[in-house]
Structure 1
Amino acid sequence: MTAAAGLAAAPVTRAAGARQLAGTGALLRLALRRDRVMAPVWMLVVSGIVLAMPGSLESVYATAAERSDAMESMNANSSMRAMYGPVFGDSVGALTAWRIGCYAGVLAAVMSLVIVVRHTRDEEETGRQEMLSAAVVGRRAPLSAALLAAFAADAGAGLLIALGMAGRGAAGAFALGIGVAGTGMLFAGVAAIAAQLTESARLAKGITAAVLGTAFVLRAAGDAGTADGSSPLTWLSPLGWQVNLRPYAGERWWVCALIGGAIAAQGLLAYALAGRRDVGMSFLPTRPGPARGRIATAGALALRLQRGSVLGWTAGFLLAGIVFGGMASGAADLVGENRNTRDIIERMGGSGGLTDAFLATVTGLFGMVAALYVVASVLRLHGEETSQRAEPVLAGAVGRLRWAAGHLVIAFGGTVLLMAACGLGMAVGHGEDTAAVVGASLSRLPAIWVLGGLAVLLVGACPKGAVAAWAVVGTCLAIGWVGPALDLPQGVMDLSPFGHLPKLPGAAMDWSPLLLLTLIAAALVAAGLAGLRRRDMTTG
């Protein structure tokens, strides 16, 4: 090609690139408007759990000597390193980054995958993207808008963390904010790639969640083996990169280049894939079903749609239960003589002995996580409705209540399976008191069902506000997670249904709150189904 021809081709190439991104600004404004409630709530939750931690740590480890002893004991415990990573410094900032930094990064990753998939594959699956693409919208504009929306949310959470922690050291606060935001952006890229590969939003979320789970396992396995973060397994995980950024402990700024390079590479791959497929299509097409249908009932259809989710959650609860159960016997040695730490564990799990209190604390935390499952499963009803997949089902000899009941059986019955797997895993890891531990795990079900019932009520009576169920669950998680450490008033703790449960094992069994919470859950479900039966579908 001659120089003149090259100069002539350059404007054409730039013009073609501009056409590929046409409409990005309008789609970004639409995405931000749709996420105007969800994204700020996520940002506040991600930053809030980080900013609440320094005060809690100061109440537990009041002196530099206590913090130094804690750092040595944590680094000497492989189980603790697997859970949180190694501790690189004994300042309050370094302990905050160790205790909550990785988990804040996981929450940012979940926020990113929800935002990206919502504005890419979910839009294509529902047919809305095809309508938008009929206007002046470039091929890569939807992906660009989705990534920019996710990046904005991640950057907002990181900025809140940096500003809130700046008083303990600007460099460490900046590194901690970058680590959390960068982790979120990394998994926004993973979600963007998954959205190009699959034909369904559910599968795209599942792939991204599986990558996130694998990253956590690699980081945990690597950190369990070494106390300095040098394991090759740790460096294979983006969560390990965040840990090795080392906020407040001699920051490794070059790790930021690694994170930035991975984000750029993922973006380029997602853009390349987006330019090579048609709207609604994917590189991994859905396998066609059998010539003769084998799904005869609404319940069977719900099971077929959600069986992968149920199995994945159950396996995760079982494995995590084994890990935490194995730590229970060493809880007393880990806490040592620190009275403040004992007080926090006893406020969370009761005063029936430190081991029982630890087991009660862990089963309570698993119950709060199971609440995320039940809300997600219930909201699947809303997703089926808004995507208009429920309409063909209801057009046949299937009533609304039968259709909804199929999904609700999976949602509420799935929590029984999850908590039973958690209790069994903890009993295996702990090695004793199988019946007591499994019973303690199952005792969390009424509180989980109350949050699931609230989601049913929102879907049935106020579908446009169904997303608020996530805010309620997030609030309960925040209360249960940081409330005991901050010694919040009992009135605040009682805002969560989990605050009314007996602290089993170790405490005396009291059936009254369990029965009352179960009745409340049943009433919420009944009210939600009544609303679903009366209202118009897809309009609310």
Structure 2
Amino acid sequence: MTAAAQALGFTPRTGGSRQLAGTGALLRLALRRDRVMLPVWVLVVVGMVLAMPGSLEQTYGTAAERADAMRSMNANSSMRALYSPVFGDSIGALSAWRIGVYAAILAAVMSLIVVVRHTREEEETGRQEMISAAMVGRRAPLTAALLAAFVANAAVGLLIAGGMAGQGSAGALALGLGVAGTGMVFATMAAIVAQLTESARLAKGLTSGVLGAAYVLKAAGDAGTEDGSSVLTWLSPLGWTQNIRAYAGERWWVLLLIAAAIVAQGAVAYNLAGRRDVGMSFLPTRPGPAKGGLGTAGSLAWRLQRGSVLGWTLGFLASGVVFGGMVEGAADIVGDNENTRDVIERMGGQSGLTDAFLATMVGLLGMVASLYVVASVLRLHGEETSQRAEPVLANAVGRLRWAGGHLVIAFGGAVLLMLVGGLALALGYGKDLGPILGACLVQVAAIWALGGLAVLLVGAFPRAAVGAWAAAGICLAIGWIGPALDLPQVALDISPFSHLPKLPGATAPAWGPVLALLTLACALTTTGLAALHRRDLTT
């Protein structure tokens, strides 16, 4: 047994337990490595859910207002597609409608990251091969990864059930089980994909693609029916989550579908894990051409990130059309509810309800685009830690040229996304192409500021590079639910998006904050590149 294995606490196993030998030690190691990431994910998911009842009580203070909101939401196909049909008019039912599916999506993202991190990523970096030199069962790493995901999802489910119990214990339990169960569905799905691919990045991308397809199926099904009975809705695990109908006559039997999916996918993953060697996959990477055609660092960066750019572009195209289709019905959705009107105007400005709603949708596109720019910048860190950057830099390629190729894709791609999103938004709305495109381009200043922060972390503080995700997530949370929770302005001002003019519609836009954010983005990027140029790689 190696010294590293002894330090981790591995002991020899014999007999039938050999396949799972070392699972406990690997689970402890996984939880220790994720001791910061997992609690943050759990608190974000649970916090979003528990904050919703208070917000809705302020917005819809009477039973009559809640009943009117339920009718207007269900009558609007775009709103049904964006969220889901409303199955009840209680505060609990409206909370489950407003945040249940999105909490399940976040739980799914958390789960797939955890499983891929502790399976395929360990093999890709070579750490799993070292650990497997000890008495570690063939299926122990997969078991430990799934157990780590289970611990996180169990915490989410228990905290949601406990925190929402004041609205009704049965509904709280149903909502908690639905969110946690969806997380485990995608954990086992990620376990399958991790056996099929050789790349952790590809495994995360494919599983995220399945999650996106599940949302599209649910949205398409919900747009066509008001009761969630569409075949398309039932083909989506997210559709199962909403059809549990927490606080609206719970359908407990739907949980059996979720449990069956978890067991079936887990069985497939375990079968595949036992039939391959460490580091191998069932879908090996296709070899490149005998003669390379990539002559510059920029062309290499484009080759590595073109799939991501295409996927994000298609997503913004679809989202823009959906958001645009909702604009005409904004007045009908809000009705005479002053609290709802105030929330929209806090998010989108005071320039009339339609313009405020457009500004809100534009701001949402900008905040989501910040996730793209962070992911794209952090590809630099991934190339460095996986030691793929060293062969490139060993040739006549300087660090700044290498980094610049990726940053052009990151910052230029953000502009492309906002242009595509603005074009699709105007297409769905049917007018105001110029003002909407201008409003979308203004968002680039805040997006680039977050991208500059990611460059600074990668260049100067590479071990803290993951903090760029936290910054983008905080900005998204502030912009998404901050106005609904009536957060003070000092809290809203943490996000750079809060300083941008609310366009379209503002009569006298303040351009000073836009220029300040662009200057900040340049300063952060320059400082980060200078630090990257000076320091040693992988340190």
The bucket for the TM-score relative to the shorter chain is over 0.9
CA displacement, residues 94-122 of structure 1 (integer Å, 9 cap, x when unaligned): 00000110011111111111111111111
RMSD after superposition: 1.2
Please say if residues 299 and 403 of structure 1, whose CA atoms lie closer than 8 Å, have aligned partners that are also in contact. Answer: yes
Structure 1 residues 58, 130: CA separation in 2 closer, same or farther (over 3 Å shift)?
Answer: same
TM-score normalized with structure 1 length: 0.96
1:381 aligns with 2:401: no
- Measure, in 1, the Cα distance between the counterparts of 2:233 and 2:245: 14
Aligned to 2:350, what secondary structure does the other structure show? coil
- Measure, in 2, the Cα distance between the counterparts of 1:407 and 1:263: 38
CA displacement, residues 179-206 of structure 1 (integer Å, 9 cap, x when unaligned): 1111111011111111111111121111
- Measure, in 2, the Cα distance between the counterparts of 1:131 and 1:447: 43
Task: Name the structure 1 match of 2:235.
Answer: 236
1:309 aligns with 2:296: no
TM-score normalized with structure 2 length: 0.96
Task: Name the structure 2 match of 1:109.
Answer: 108
The AA in structure 1 aligned to 2:168 is: G
Task: Name the structure 1 match of 2:186.
Answer: 187
Task: Name the structure 2 match of 1:483.
Answer: 482
1:32 aligns with 2:2: no
1:166 aligns with 2:147: no
Please say if residues 298 and 398 of structure 1, whose CA atoms lie closer than 8 Å, have aligned partners that are also in contact. Answer: yes
The AA in structure 1 aligned to 2:249 is: G
Task: Name the structure 2 match of 1:4.
Answer: none
Cα shift at 1:509:
2.5
Task: Name the structure 2 match of 1:469.
Answer: 468
Task: Name the structure 1 match of 2:255.
Answer: 256
Please say if residues 126 and 388 of structure 1, whose CA atoms lie closer than 8 Å, have aligned partners that are also in contact. Answer: no
Please say if residues 38 and 467 of structure 1, whose CA atoms lie closer than 8 Å, have aligned partners that are also in contact. Answer: no
| Fraction of identical pairs, as percent | 75
Please say if residues 41 and 471 of structure 1, whose CA atoms lie closer than 8 Å, have aligned partners that are also in contact. Answer: no
The AA in structure 1 aligned to 2:180 is: A
Please say if residues 76 and 329 of structure 2, whose CA atoms lie closer than 8 Å, have aligned partners that are also in contact. Answer: no
- Measure, in 1, the Cα distance between the counterparts of 2:486 and 2:428: 30
Task: Name the structure 2 match of 1:292.
Answer: 291
Cα shift at 1:129:
1.4
Please say if residues 83 and 101 of structure 2, whose CA atoms lie closer than 8 Å, have aligned partners that are also in contact. Answer: yes
Cα shift at 1:44:
1.1
Task: Name the structure 2 match of 1:440.
Answer: 439
Please say if residues 400 and 533 of structure 2, whose CA atoms lie closer than 8 Å, have aligned partners that are also in contact. Answer: yes
Aligned to 1:52, what secondary structure does the other structure show? helix
- Measure, in 2, the Cα distance between the counterparts of 1:426 and 1:489: 30
Cα shift at 1:427:
0.5
Cα shift at 1:175:
0.8
Aligned to 2:504, what secondary structure does the other structure show? coil
Aligned to 1:87, what secondary structure does the other structure show? coil
- Measure, in 1, the Cα distance between the counterparts of 2:14 and 2:168: 46
CA displacement, residues 344-365 of structure 1 (integer Å, 9 cap, x when unaligned): 1001001111111001001111
The AA in structure 2 aligned to 1:269 is: V
Please say if residues 72 and 332 of structure 2, whose CA atoms lie closer than 8 Å, have aligned partners that are also in contact. Answer: no
Structure 1 residues 17, 328: CA separation in 2 closer, same or farther (over 3 Å shift)?
Answer: farther
Task: Name the structure 2 match of 1:94.
Answer: 93
Task: Name the structure 1 match of 2:514.
Answer: 514
Please say if residues 23 and 138 of structure 1, whose CA atoms lie closer than 8 Å, have aligned partners that are also in contact. Answer: yes
CA displacement, residues 478-504 of structure 1 (integer Å, 9 cap, x when unaligned): 111111112211111101101100000
The AA in structure 1 aligned to 2:19 is: Q
CA displacement, residues 19-73 of structure 1 (integer Å, 9 cap, x when unaligned): 1111111111111111111111111111111111111111110001110111111
The AA in structure 1 aligned to 2:387 is: Q
Aligned to 1:278, what secondary structure does the other structure show? coil
The AA in structure 2 aligned to 1:318 is: L
Task: Name the structure 1 match of 2:524.
Answer: 524
Please say if residues 331 and 358 of structure 1, whose CA atoms lie closer than 8 Å, have aligned partners that are also in contact. Answer: yes
Please say if residues 50 and 101 of structure 1, whose CA atoms lie closer than 8 Å, have aligned partners that are also in contact. Answer: yes
The AA in structure 1 aligned to 2:516 is: L
Task: Name the structure 1 match of 2:337.
Answer: 338
Aligned to 1:161, what secondary structure does the other structure show? helix
Task: Name the structure 2 match of 1:10.
Answer: none
- Measure, in 1, the Cα distance between the counterparts of 2:391 and 2:127: 18
Mind listing any 5+ residue stretches in structure 1 that lack a counterpart? 1-13
The AA in structure 2 aligned to 1:435 is: G
Cα shift at 1:15:
5.2
Cα shift at 1:452:
1.2
Aligned to 2:164, what secondary structure does the other structure show? helix
Please say if residues 223 and 229 of structure 1, whose CA atoms lie closer than 8 Å, have aligned partners that are also in contact. Answer: yes
The AA in structure 1 aligned to 2:219 is: A
1:501 aligns with 2:500: yes
The AA in structure 2 aligned to 1:166 is: A
Cα shift at 1:510:
2.3
Q: Across the two proteins, how many residue pairs are aligned to each other?
A: 526
Task: Name the structure 2 match of 1:266.
Answer: 265
Cα shift at 1:152:
1.3
Cα shift at 1:89:
0.7
Cα shift at 1:217:
1.0
The AA in structure 2 aligned to 1:446 is: A
Task: Name the structure 1 match of 2:205.
Answer: 206
The AA in structure 1 aligned to 2:291 is: R
Cα shift at 1:380:
1.1
Aligned to 1:326, what secondary structure does the other structure show? helix
